[in-house]
Amino acid sequence: MTFSAPAKVNIFLKITGTREGYHTLRSRFVRLHTLTDTLSFIPSRPTGRRFRWRASVTLPQNNTLTRAYALLCALEREKMERFFDAHTLFIDKKIPAGAGLGGGSSDAATFLKACNKIAGLNLPLKKLAKLGEQIGADVPFFIYDYPSANVEGIGERIQPFEEEPPALTLHTPDTACDTAKVYGYYRAHLLDQARSEAGKAWLKRPSMDLLQELAPDEANDLYPAARAVCPRLTPPTNSRWFLSGSGSTFFKVAL
């Protein structure tokens, strides 16, 4: 049983303030099915109902998947332990870490939805999204699996946007941006620039129009913070490369 976990980019990202210790934002998320991680649930011998997982790259022992497992166990421990007594999870990572592409969030969302189906949990989608909020702000977007969506608040307000998402070219430099450090720099040095109405008019505009009209540093409020935290972060050319999320991936309209 194999499931794909797609990446995403932020067409724009504006910080609108703070709430309960979190930054609030207004953004357009676009799903990328050209870049995915793969989660495979492989039949295996019983070993005492332990959650067993392996990955194609080194992951911390406490990661978005282990947190998703713990949240599901808190609701349906018997079903989760029974299923994973007979299966091992393998994660084939293609989405780079620290790239602003939502790889960890997408993995968690895909895990929640996959377990809901194959372990017979039968939780409603809204419940899975609420669980996802406890893992990361981007997780609910991946739960709903919209090709394109406007995202507000701390990631919990998601409205699908009807459009054909533009074809994009990606460039991920050989450097990773620590999301917490980028947001920390923004809060310490740039928070006074946040505006509650920032990006509001862009919510109605197609992504292609925005990419043709906006300047890259205008589109993403985290751009200067990411550059400060990651000095090696530079686009490959002087053309119109936009930064996704907190970096480090740049993207532009594919020619």
Q: Measured over all CA atoms, what is the biggest interatomic distance in the chain, rounded to whole angstroms?
A: 57
Per the CB < 8 A criterion, the answer to whether 110 and 145 are in contact is no
Omega cis (within 30) before 27: no
Q: Is 194 helix (H, G, I), strand (E, B) or coil?
A: coil
Strands 87-92 and 53-55 turn out to be parallel
Catalytic residue among 14, 138, 221, 252, which? 138
Per the CB < 8 A criterion, the answer to whether 117 and 194 are in contact is no
From 251, 252, 247, 250, select the one nearest 100 (Cα to Cα).
247
**64-84 helix and 125-133 helix, angle to the nearest 10 degrees:** 130
* 145 among known catalytic residues: no
Sequence-ordered list of residues with C-beta below 8 angstroms from that of 236, at least 6 positions apart, any chain: 171, 250
Catalytic residue among 8, 14, 113, 252, which? 8
* 8 among known catalytic residues: yes
Reading the block at residue 93, the tokens are 């990572």
Burial 128-152 (b: 16+ CB within 10 A, else e): bbebbbebbbbbbbbbbebbbbbbb
Which positions are catalytic?
A: 8, 138
